[in-house]
Amino acid sequence: MRVTTMLRAVVFAGLSGATAMAADADHGKELFLACAACHSEKPDAIGPNLKGVFGRKSAALDDFRYSNPMKRANLVWDAANLRGYLIDPQAKVKGNRMPFGGVANPAEADDLVAYLQTYK
């Protein structure tokens, strides 16, 4: 049973890597234009600045007032956490105040994650 569990984890990791490799950062950049309505580099933006978000801890920027659920989330924005949040923000961080229902298409979420990896 333990070998089966390990084998599943290896197969899943391989599939996740294949998905990430197939992601299109250029398409993600186009998709991000919709996000830019709230996530700009201006300090008075509706949402926090997402430049350099990849690898950053949730609620880490000093110049943005995060919701308490986001402060308690204690996430590091890696590919899996960003993808999960983009697909269903309320499931990933219940009670967060981002007024966004999520990305319905998982491939588009992958493309956005690929773009966010380059957004520095």
pLDDT at position 37: 92
pLDDT at position 43: 79
Q: Summarize pLDDT for 26-45 with one digit per residue, the tens.
A: 999 999 999 999 998 887 89
pLDDT at position 14: 42
Report the CATH number that the domain containing residue 75 is assigned in CATH: 1.10.760.10
In a domain, 48, yes or no: yes
In a domain, 10, yes or no: no
Name the pTM for this structure: 0.79
In a domain, 11, yes or no: no
Helix axis angle, 2-22 to 79-87, nearest 10°: 80
Structural domain total, the chain:
1
Q: Which domain holds residue 89?
A: 24-118
Please state, in angstroms and rounded to a whole number, the distance separating the CA atoms of residues 13 and 66.
32
